[in-house]
Structure 1
Amino acid sequence: MTQRKQKKNNEKNENQNDLTYEKMLKAHFQKCSKEKEKNKSLNLSERRLVNLPIRAALKSKGVIDWWRMVSDLDLSGNKLDSHSIPTEFQELKSLRSLELHHNNFHEIPRVVLSLDQLRFLGFSNNQLSVIPNDLQKMSQLYGLSLANNKLGSMAPLCRVRTLRWLSLDSNLITQIPRLIKNMKLLECLYLRHNKIRSIPQELNKCKELHELCLSYNQITEIKNGVFVFNSLKILDLSGNPIQSLPQEIQNLKLDFLAIEDCLLTSKPNNLSSLTIIDDQNPYLSLLDLTQCEIDFDPQKVEWKEF
């Protein structure tokens, strides 16, 4: 096939994609208008899209007017990459949630970073290796999912001080930066299946943190002074070569503690107050000790469904 013929076929396929996309938008627009939806959402996941032909929508006034009011957009499970998002994407002034999971992104497109009204951004299961510094300009962002990528550092995220929910599971992260102390609004932090070796004491500045998941890293020791805040409810340390737990854990009002597949060889003095539901610590409803080699009496534990 000659290059000229190949180019002609590509242009034909693009035009067909534009028409299909425009037809789909019109149908969705008519449906939403009929139902008088207040919060307009658009699900274009699993559509085998290789580009996002917004220009097609610009040709139809009714569609583009509705497009500008879309609040939630799901483009997950397609074949989009960093060159698939056109500059017209910035027309989505009302967009609050954008999901681009399971695509082929090697970087976060600049036009996405210009959507400064976004509250949730999802890029899990892509090929991202670097977090752009411009992410800190997204002043409304409170939820970010970057799980299952190739990130080696989370340092730039410490400048995004609005974040409350952050997922970085299954990356190549080696440490939690001390600048984590700047993320004072952080409530949920997921760093499972990375290469983290230690937990910095500065984590105790995250006074709103109530869920911390660090399972299956390379943490060997937890120093005193890390867990000195009372907001934490869920703590997952399973799958780490931890030999002992700090005394301060007994002061946490946990709902869930997971330490299965650790290397605890003796029962810490403070563990009894966590395993036994009594007046000293009535908050813990489940303690997961699977595969640990410590000696404890299950008859004294009040086990509940999780």
Structure 2
Amino acid sequence: MGTNREMANNLIIRALRGNAKSFSLSSKKIASLPKSIARLKFILALHLNNNFLSELPTELQALQQLTELNLGNNILLEIPVVLKHLPALRKLYLFGNKIESLPPDILDELPNLTLLNVNHNQIKAIPPQIKSLVNLEVFSIVDNQLEVVPAELGCLVRLTELNLTNNKVSSLPPQMCRLSSLRKLYLARNNLCELPEGISGCTSLKVLDVAGNPLSLFPTDFGSLVLEELFCEGNNFVRAELKQSVQEVEVLSLNELAARVVLMEDRNKLSRVHQALPNYPELVSMLSQWGRCALCRRPFLTTWLECVKFINLNKDMGMKRRLTVPVRAVLCSYSCFNAEGHSYYGVASTS
């Protein structure tokens, strides 16, 4: 290792003589960085991937102009604390280590980060402080141990690519639907049973990968997305099969009936109901959970029929694939369900 350290020192001296803006010690079999690394004060990119680094020296904080740091494929057990002293850092690669967490105090000090790659580690959680990365555009955390995605991820309004492939995520927070700049979303090989309603809020989304999950339906507004590519193989989608069923007698509760009347009246801005509602904040909060019938477009509150509509990706969404996928739909009553001329199907119970 001593020979490797001497070699590293010689490369640093050579870089100084050439006024290099990028410096690489990739694949040099080094286990530690020489303190002379601090002399490279003006480099913009530092590549240290494919080595045996388990820590970084504090001298690295002298690189105040550093914008790109590659620490991929080393043996780091944690994200080095010295990184919090590199405020200019924009691209950080930490893939292929043994990192178990994303320290909140370090995330708080990296507001200029635009790319964070922590693929192939052992990270179990994304802390709420992820929202500190206000300029993040690409976040890749493939092949880790994630089970929960925090709501704060929805604060990353500049995010264009999010890759959560091969984790243990079972649900996504509705706040993710605020990511209007998101263009690529990779969710393959997780434990997702559903995608959040409101996904059409991801108005820039072009690529969606949900392959290898236990999804049964896409959310109601899925058809509003303007996708170019969809990968959805290996899910448990419902199929269009005719089955006998017994229609239940439709009896709406007084609360549901009253709520529907109020919701209908509230649509008229000149009505007394609409004008009076702001005086009853608890009622407004309760009514905020309302839905709309896919067929008659009338509002409902807590009682609906779970249905499905099968859409063709090519015909209905303008994609190249001719695959047909099931999309969740809700109807307000059996009257709507029994009406002629629609293409909604009931969802049979599997019990």
d(CA) in 2 for partners of 1:124, 1:174: 19
Question: Is the Cα contact below 8 Å between 1:199 and 1:226 reproduced in 2?
Answer: no
1:46 has 2:27 as partner: yes
Answer 1 or 2: which has greater strand percent.
Answer: 2
d(CA) in 2 for partners of 1:170, 1:184: 24
Match of 2:202 in 1: 229
Aligned-pair identity in percent equals 26
- For 2:148, the aligned partner's letter is Q
1:98 aligned to which of 69, 87, 97: 69
Match of 2:314 in 1: 275
Question: Is the Cα contact below 8 Å between 1:98 and 1:122 reproduced in 2?
Answer: yes
Aligned-CA RMSD value: 2.3
CA shift for structure 1 position 27: 3.2
Question: Is the Cα contact below 8 Å between 2:5 and 2:30 reproduced in 1?
Answer: no
d(CA) in 2 for partners of 1:69, 1:288: 53
- Aligned with 2:162: secondary structure? strand
TM-score by length of 2: 0.68
Match of 1:144 in 2: 116
d(CA) in 2 for partners of 1:137, 1:170: 25
d(CA) in 1 for partners of 2:195, 2:4: 54
d(CA) in 1 for partners of 2:101, 2:95: 13
1:238 aligned to which of 205, 208, 211: 211
Structure 1 moving runs of 4+ over 4 Å: 286-289
- For 1:41, the aligned partner's letter is S
- Aligned with 1:130: secondary structure? coil
**Structure showing greater Rg:** 2
- Aligned with 2:208: secondary structure? strand
1:124 has 2:95 as partner: yes
1:209 has 2:245 as partner: no
- For 2:24, the aligned partner's letter is N
d(CA) in 1 for partners of 2:22, 2:115: 18
d(CA) in 2 for partners of 1:161, 1:229: 17
Match of 1:256 in 2: 229
Aligned length: 258
**Residues 156-195 of structure 1 aligned to structure 2 (within 5 Å):** 156-195=129-168
Question: Is the Cα contact below 8 Å between 2:165 and 2:190 reproduced in 1?
Answer: yes
Question: Is the Cα contact below 8 Å between 2:184 and 2:206 reproduced in 1?
Answer: yes
Q: 1:222 to 1:115 in 2, by over 3 A?
A: same
Q: 1:288 to 1:145 in 2, by over 3 A?
A: farther
- What residue ranges of structure 2 are gaps of 5+ in the alignment? 241-307, 327-351
d(CA) in 1 for partners of 2:13, 2:206: 46
- What residue ranges of structure 1 are gaps of 5+ in the alignment? 1-12, 59-63, 294-306
d(CA) in 2 for partners of 1:288, 1:189: 24
d(CA) in 2 for partners of 1:142, 1:287: 36
Match of 1:23 in 2: 10
